[in-house]
Structure 1
Amino acid sequence: MTSNHGTNGAERDGTHIASPLSDENIEKQPLDVRLETPSRTESDDSPGERDDKAGITVFTLGTEERKGDAMSFAPPPYVIPDGGYGWVIVYAVFMITFICVGLPSAWGVYQRQFYYEQYFPGATNFQLAFIGSVGAGCQMLFGSAGGRVSDKIGPRNTALLGTVFMTTGLVLASFATQVWHLYLTYGIITGIGAGFAWVPSAAVTPSWFLKRRGTAVGIAAAGGGFGGMALGPMGQALLDHLGWQWALRVTGFVTFAVLASSALLLRLPPGAVVRPRGPFLDWKMFSSGTFLRLLAMGFLIAWPYFLPFHFISEYAFDQGYSKEIGAMLTALMNATAGVGRILTGLLSDKVGHLNMVMVSFAVPAFSILVLWTLTGTSLPMMIVFSVAFGAFSGGFIVLLPVSAAFAFGTQGLGTTLGMLQLGWVSGFMAGSPTAGAIIDAYTTTDNDGNILRVNFIPAMMFGGAMYVGGLFFATWERVVASKGKVWIKV
């Protein structure tokens, strides 16, 4: 069978690669090989042959037909297990994602408590939302560096380095006396740690799977949803019983235990030796239309992604419900996000990853623009919105590693994902604060400064519009990949 992905120079003899390359061959042939010639084929989802008896995927090198505008790459010179220890990797990445993505999703509990209890007198919604956003932005910014570092020293060492930063940031945040202290500790230091721990680990899973790549990545990414579900109520309980300072310290201790134990399990498949070549940024990637469209999707989804997670609790409280109800809605949204990411991965293997990318933009856009605006004071409608948005909100997070692996290969995937996630930085840093500023602008107060009414609808419109923009680029990429065909798996 001829591979539908790129070939490697003169090696066009159709020889099966059924074992890892020797060290001598690795020295002669870098693993991260990208050709300058644009390429896309019709069956990117099936780049190798499946040996059902052995339970592995074997690649065949051969000539290819060059089409479209995705970068061509060499098939990985190692056996893809499609299981085995790969499921241990899925567990490890699930737990790392549980902390690194779940913790920012649960920031809304702390934000509401800080705002209404005025632990930091005079702090506005904009200022408090910016703390969580600085953390999320630093996670993406330093995740790019973490991906490159991982390609040099390995994902295990990089994730352990991130563990130290993240734990230190949370513990130091508990000693904050001013809002800017939280920017530095909870925002920057914790964000750096999350970037070094999460992005490199997320790049490991696709290298262990091919046929079940979407399923494996979906299960691993579900950790973020379940993490937000668990860490939100845990944070509220700690705030109620221990106060905000010890709540942060206990969270820091839990973070260290989970991340350190999971990072020690990380490793690449046998034969997948990390030997990165080239500069920190691979500028040739910017000549790929697929890369630019994935970059644009990430940029647009980053602005509204945390908005419902950060504000649904405050919205419920403003409508007269208790803080426990607000925490429940945040937990429900995160729980359905966890389940939704697993289903997104499963469905992407069945119907195609680009088809599911479109769904992952369309449903959240509808949820924000229609369901949330119709919610009013209705708790059942808040629940419907939380389930609908949560189930599909993390779809693109699941599908970005899958799409990048199919388009550009698994070798050097940490660097590739890091470059793509640079597009998330501005949105993750400014998205929720921008929404907070919009909410503050439409909040009415009396002459004494007491809040009379908070209007969330303009901020909802802002978030929904960003998802619609992402849907445009997702549709564009699918049209290019499918050559305009509608009812096909792509």
Structure 2
Amino acid sequence: MAEMALPATALLAPVDSKTNTTPAPETERVIESFEVSGPHANVAEQEDIPPDGGYGWVCTACVLLVNASTWGVNSAYGVFLAYFLSHSTFSGASRLEYALIGGLSISQSLFISPLIGLCNEKLGTRISLLIGAMLVSVSLLASSFTTRIWQLFLSQGVCFGYGLGFLYIPASTVLPQWFDKKRSLSMGIASSGAGFGGLVYNLVAGAAIQGLGWRWTYRILAISTAVVNVTCALLLKDRNKMVKPKKQGFNVREFGHISVVLVILWGIFTELGYIVLLYSLPDYAISIGLSANQGAVVGAVLNVGLGVGRPIIGLLSDRFGRIDTATGMSPPATALCGIFVLSLWVPAHSYAVLLLFALAIGSVTGIFWGTVAPVTAEVVGLQRLPATFGMLVLPLVIPTVFAEPIALGLAASYGYLTAKIFVGCMFLAGAASTFALRSWKLVEGEGWRSPVTAGD
């Protein structure tokens, strides 16, 4: 490692006047870690210290609103899905085709992550975000004019997914640059936007479909998302000049790190459960005799849990350790998702029990998207975060596409009980993956420390 260029007077080790000795090597490292002023200072060697606040809270609010107007709007497709299934809106369309659209939008946002990383590197964060804002609004507007199911595939599925990716991925890699000790809390607050946005958009979509029709509902969503996403894209700022992330948006070598592979497995298993919950609860409510409005309320309550639970999980992650919390060894997280599904959703055959389950599962589900950026930053560091983050979400394309079709297929052939058990087991497998990640880091001997001790 190259030594820092220091003034000539700084090259002489200070001598203790009482003991006539030079400082210990540890003391020398502390002295060298301070910022050196003057023409000889090597600024490139100085480690960036996130401000842990300031304009970072403005960025947190922006990412919260972006999540609300992307993930929140996407979750409202569950309301459209229930309506399309009950009214056979598109002639000749099957349940499988309807189910594929919701997962397709998420999978496409992940599929183009290498392209997003390249655009983010060449064009900058703001331009990438503006591209995403345009694609999301255009996709929703185009959906309002569709007359064939394949057209809805292209608009609601592909185009919306591209817009979601261009907004979510750059925004998620910016926010960790502003925080250190409060990193998980800020990400938890920002990711709660998906829950609160889902609450608002589920209720709005449910009411608008009944009063204005599904076409005008899409147009209302197109206008609202354009206003919110463009505003946030203009306000959100990165700290790339200080952090100096590696200029490589596509690096297949990331797949060679066991820690990255374990994070990917965590994402695959949890997405197979999360996508099903996100889209199936309104349809499940109708299948047990509840009304479409009650189904929309169930979906909204799930999003209330998301909005409330994610900031709490972020706070606990900063306090007890990000990997520990994600594992479920400390406060509730991935493991509790499986427990809630098997203990509450399996016997849920009434409106009251289903609402209780939706609130409980919402408080802990979707933890992957709420904590993956801070966890990945802990695993690989801030400089590798953009490249690694873009690569680790790429393998999630397959589970996000097929999760809902698998669940609807199981429900159609064997009843919803098998789908419930499938979802519960996937969350438990996800918890096992994060437990393996924590164990690997400990065995690897990289000095994994809880923030409690790290801050002492």
> TM-score normalized by structure 2?
0.86
From 270, 287, 297, the equivalent of 1:318 is: 287
Shift of 1:410: 1.5
- State yes or no: 1:88 paired with 2:58: yes
Matched, 1:406 2:378: yes
Task: Point out the structure with the larger helix share.
Answer: 2
Look up the match of 2:429: 469
Match of 1:298 among 261, 267, 273: 267
Match in the other structure for 2:254: 285
Match of 1:372 among 324, 334, 345: 345
Which of 165, 170, 187 does residue 200 from structure 1 map onto? 170
Instruction: Report the Cα offset of residue 9 of structure 1.
Output: 5.0
Partner residue in 1 for 2:130: 160
Corresponding residue number in structure 2 for 1:230: 200
CA distance in 2, matches of 1:144, 1:197: 14
% identity of equivalent residues? 28
- Equivalent of 1:387 in 341, 345, 359: 359
Structure 2 counterpart of 1:343, which letter? Answer: I
Name the CA shift for 1:20/1:336 in 2 (closer, same or farther; >3 Å): farther
Q: In the aligned structure 1, how far is the partner of 2:235 from the partner of 2:388?
A: 23
| Corresponding residue for residue 420 of structure 1 | 392
RMSD (Å) for aligned C-alpha atoms: 2.6
For 1:324, give the aligned amino acid.
N
Deviation at 1:154, TM superposition (A): 2.1
Specify the alignment match of 1:68 in structure 2.
none
Could you say which structure has the higher strand fraction?
1
Matches within 5 A, 1:90-489: 90-269=60-239, 271-272=241-242, 276-278=246-248, 280-359=249-328, 360-376=333-349, 378-442=350-414, 455-483=415-443, 489=450
- Name the residue aligned to 1:42: none
Query: Which runs of no fewer than 5 residues in structure 1 stay unpaired?
Result: 1-7, 30-60, 62-75, 443-454
Q: Which range moved further: 383-392 or 150-159?
A: 150-159
Residue 105 of structure 1 aligns to which amino acid in structure 2?
S
Check 1:276–1:477 CA distance in 2 against 1; reply closer, same or farther (3 A cut). Answer: closer
Deviation at 1:160, TM superposition (A): 0.4
Which has the greater radius of gyration?
A: 2
1:378-429 deviation line (CA, Å, top 9, x unaligned)? 2221122111211000222121100111121222522221111112211111
1:16 counterpart residue number: 33
1:241-276 deviation line (CA, Å, top 9, x unaligned): 111111111111111111000111111237426664
Do the aligned partners of residues 240 and 17 (structure 1) sit closer, same or farther apart at CA in structure 2, a change above 3 Å counting?
A: farther
Distance 2:276 2:255 in 1: 29
Equivalenced residue count is: 420
| Maintained 8 Å contact 1:151/1:274 | no
* TM-score normalised to structure 1 length: 0.80
One-letter amino acid of the counterpart of residue 263, structure 1? A
Unmatched 5+ stretches in structure 2: 5-27, 452-456
